[in-house]
A and B are shown apart, each in its own frame.
Chain A
């Protein structure tokens, strides 16, 4: 439970935390409390924008090791204080918000690279390292994690592990869960455990996977070993514009079914091509759906794969070829989409309704979500692109946007409108074979749909949570788990 700041209990707990990890690493300052009260979720941003008080932690701790984390867990268990892990704070789902106050466990001090193993091609690091910093250090050694999401500059590796993040090269190199070899985890009761050193085995169930996507509800991931890759000799992109989104989707799906191995592929629907891609590229794309893909690796293999991919795009689906320059425009500008001025921003209301489904279902999911938004919120815009492609289907990164004039001034009414969009759109996705999220996680925003998604399997997850965290101190109220 929260501890009143003017009580002597507060001072007693602060003393214990200080004794455990050092005074320098226990903060109760208002500036840092403010810093941990707003993440990238629209609701706290809007709350702050409207001058409302955002929930703040009582204590912010900066552990430097698994041992420090263990000590913090034991203290938190002793006093039944909620602990919310915080990496870069750039999550869009409210997963790191201290909604019940208590302790924010900021992992960023745990930023050490333990080892780059060039024989096994793995890197072992603490999880508080900002992903961009890890990638830079790997690049300096001539290797790459190949995990290059738009949030690479601000999110920590732990954040990606906690909510199963995905980078732009996912089609070849996988989501973060495909990149993990093993984990070190501090459980809610303070035990430091390690999962098996390799991800492929027949030695019982996969404990590593249990923690990936657990969003700080089952413990704190303190160290990880990730696969790394040599820097590719060549990486080339090519873009096509198709008359409509359906044709472009068919071409993209065919490329995946061909079992060629693109490193990335992205398809923008007609609306997003017209309104967004054009603006970011500074070029006019006034009709159709823009599809870009690329290959990387040995130059001659890249060329060969590109040759077959072009046959699919041009001979089978008659795409208008925008050439390699059209593809490189995307690669060079891929992060620009997320900077202010290009990214949607308060006072707009906006959200990413990302989901994933098989090729059999994905277009139905798209139309179900789009029609739901269009019919129920005619004042909103709906745009979508398909970011991450797998052998069996792809991810839909759909967004709704309300302009300032259509967003209620009252923050409670604004929140109600916002939540209603999610209620209807997410349920439409689930009903058509989608899931509630592909790479942003569940957090606070989507927790209430977990029962819809998992049905009778939800008590299994709840049982696991209870087993790991008997006092319910770890990130309570998130991922559909019980609050305080």
Chain B
């Protein structure tokens, strides 16, 4: 089974409480089940009692996870309960036990693929549905115009991360292969991505799935740092909400470097501290970015995650909140009074 690839997480997370305080879902549902400890304990139990896989309440618990991976970042041994959870979901799908809502979502995602490109240049910009809905692509276009740079854009489907987190690994691989082929046809040398979830899939997915990928992948923050941007209105005081995928999955320094280049004075969002009491954003404030499609399956849960983030703000209606993820921006806009903007918007405002 896929879960057998993660024996350390099974054996260690099942009885460990040390990241309990960082469990984003657990902190809003208050249920013991919504913690890495109990998810791992359930998976261990299912290894001994295969009939547990047929319990819809156990399956639901696994799919509720936000997959933020901040537990792994926090853990001194970096045991990866998120990867274990995705492996368990993959096993669930392979056993034919996926919940109906998950199956329906898989069908919806798999049916959307129809890649279209526009524009020209060696740089290709990927527009996923969240990037489009948040109009981050339009902001990126405005930034590129100010920078005097030409680029092409590609849109039109699922590149596989959503399918992967739902447990459909072969479908995810196929989606990635198709996207790789479409990118290959453009002749681009660099692929720029705004959505951190897409960045993760395109940066690390090719190796994970054994798919050849023809271009260099950069997150927008990394790419924009390479441009000669003239800052005319320094960004000033703001709060940056870390992205699960950029920080916990990839440890990317670029968002902070970009903000510094824009003249931002970063303030610490929330109250969390590291072991020595130094302010450090240990919690996930992404509203479920890691799970990619959480609003489709658990909209009420996402609403609670957003309310939790709002509660952490010093001045909810006036604080300037910057996020890397268009998804997080959309959720915060929908459910809170927070003034959330994407990194791209922060860049544009400074130019």
Chain A positions within 8 Å of B, measured between CB atoms, are 27, 29-32, 34-36, 38, 40, 45, 48-49, 51, 60, 62, 86, 88-90, 106, 108-109, 111, 128, 130, 132-133, 135-137, 139-140, 151, 153-155, 231, 331-332, 334-336, 338-342, 345-346
Q: Once bound together, how far apart are the Cα atoms of A140 and B77, in whole Å? A: 28
Q: Report B29 CB to chain A, min CB distance, Å.
A: 9
The reply on B101 being an interface residue by CB < 8 A is no
Q: Report B250 CB to chain A, min CB distance, Å.
A: 23
Q: Once bound together, how far apart are the Cα atoms of A60 and B248, in whole Å? A: 33
Which residue from chain A places its CB closest to the CB of B58 in the assembled complex?
A: A31
Sort A-B residue pairs by CB-CB distance and give the 5 closest, nearest first: A35-B32, A154-B17, A340-B12, A154-B20, A31-B61
Contact bitstring B242-280, A, C-beta under 8 A = 1, else 0: 000000000000000000000000000011110111000
Q: Once bound together, how far apart are the Cα atoms of A338 and B17, in whole Å? A: 10
Which residues of chain A are within 8 angstroms of B45 by Cβ–Cβ distance? 34, 48, 51
A40→B15 contact, CB < 8 A:
yes
Q: Once bound together, how far apart are the Cα atoms of A45 and B12, in whole Å? A: 12
Chain B positions within 8 Å of A, measured between CB atoms, are 11-22, 30-33, 35, 37-38, 41-42, 44-45, 48-49, 55, 57-58, 60-61, 75-77, 79, 270-273, 275-277
Which residues of chain B are within 8 angstroms of A139 by Cβ–Cβ distance? 271, 273, 277
Q: Once bound together, how far apart are the Cα atoms of A35 and B26, in whole Å? A: 12
Which residues of chain A are within 8 angstroms of B19 by Cβ–Cβ distance? 153
Which residues of chain A are within 8 angstroms of B271 by Cβ–Cβ distance? 133, 136-137, 139-140
Q: Once bound together, how far apart are the Cα atoms of A402 and B32, in whole Å? A: 29
B38→A31 contact, CB < 8 A:
yes
Known: A106-B32, A340-B12. 19 other contacts (CB 8 A): A30-B55, A31-B33, A31-B58, A32-B32, A35-B32, A35-B38, A38-B15, A40-B15, A89-B17, A89-B32, A128-B30, A153-B18, A153-B22, A339-B18, A339-B76, A340-B16, A340-B77, A340-B79, A345-B11
A62→B30 contact, CB < 8 A:
yes
Q: Report A104 CB to chain B, min CB distance, Å.
A: 9
Q: Name A109's contact: one of B30, B32, B41 (CB within 8 Å).
A: B30
Q: Report A227 CB to chain B, min CB distance, Å.
A: 18
Q: Name A36's contact: one of B12, B14, B20, B32 (CB within 8 Å).
A: B32
Q: Once bound together, how far apart are the Cα atoms of A351 and B33, in whole Å? A: 25
Q: Once bound together, how far apart are the Cα atoms of A434 and B14, in whole Å? A: 33
Q: Once bound together, how far apart are the Cα atoms of A154 and B16, in whole Å? A: 10
Which residues of chain A are within 8 angstroms of B37 by Cβ–Cβ distance? 35
Known interface pairs A31-B60, A48-B44, A153-B18. Does A341 touch B76 (Cβ–Cβ under 8 Å)? yes
- Give the interface SS of chain B, mostly helix, strand, loop or mixed: loop
A48→B41 contact, CB < 8 A:
yes
Q: Once bound together, how far apart are the Cα atoms of A453 and B215, in whole Å? A: 72
Which residues of chain B are within 8 angstroms of A109 by Cβ–Cβ distance? 30
Which residues of chain A are within 8 angstroms of B273 by Cβ–Cβ distance? 135-136, 139
Which residues of chain B are within 8 angstroms of A35 by Cβ–Cβ distance? 31-33, 35, 37-38, 41
Which residues of chain B are within 8 angstroms of A331 by Cβ–Cβ distance? 276
Which residues of chain B are within 8 angstroms of A155 by Cβ–Cβ distance? 17
Q: Pull 30 A–B residue pairs with CB atoms less than 8 Å apart, ordered by A.
A: A27-B31, A31-B31, A31-B38, A31-B57, A31-B58, A34-B38, A35-B31, A35-B32, A35-B35, A35-B37, A38-B41, A106-B31, A106-B32, A128-B30, A136-B272, A139-B273, A153-B17, A153-B19, A153-B20, A153-B21, A154-B18, A155-B17, A332-B275, A340-B15, A340-B18, A340-B75, A340-B79, A341-B12, A342-B76, A345-B15
Known interface pairs A34-B38, A106-B32. Does A51 touch B76 (Cβ–Cβ under 8 Å)? no
Which residues of chain B are within 8 angstroms of A29 by Cβ–Cβ distance? 33, 57, 60-61
B15→A88 contact, CB < 8 A:
no
A346→B15 contact, CB < 8 A:
yes
Q: Name B20's contact: one of A27, A49, A88, A137 (CB within 8 Å).
A: A88
A154→B275 contact, CB < 8 A:
no
Which residues of chain A are within 8 angstroms of B61 by Cβ–Cβ distance? 29, 31
Q: Once bound together, how far apart are the Cα atoms of A32 and B32, in whole Å? A: 6
Which residue from chain B places its CB closest to the CB of A86 in the assembled complex?
A: B32
Among the interface residues B17, B22, B49, which one has the most CB atoms of the partner chain A within 10 A?
A: B17
Among the interface residues A86, A132, A339, A340, which one has the most CB atoms of the partner chain B within 10 A?
A: A340
Q: Report A390 CB to chain B, min CB distance, Å.
A: 25
A30→B58 contact, CB < 8 A:
yes
Which residue from chain A places its CB closest to the CB of B14 in the assembled complex?
A: A48
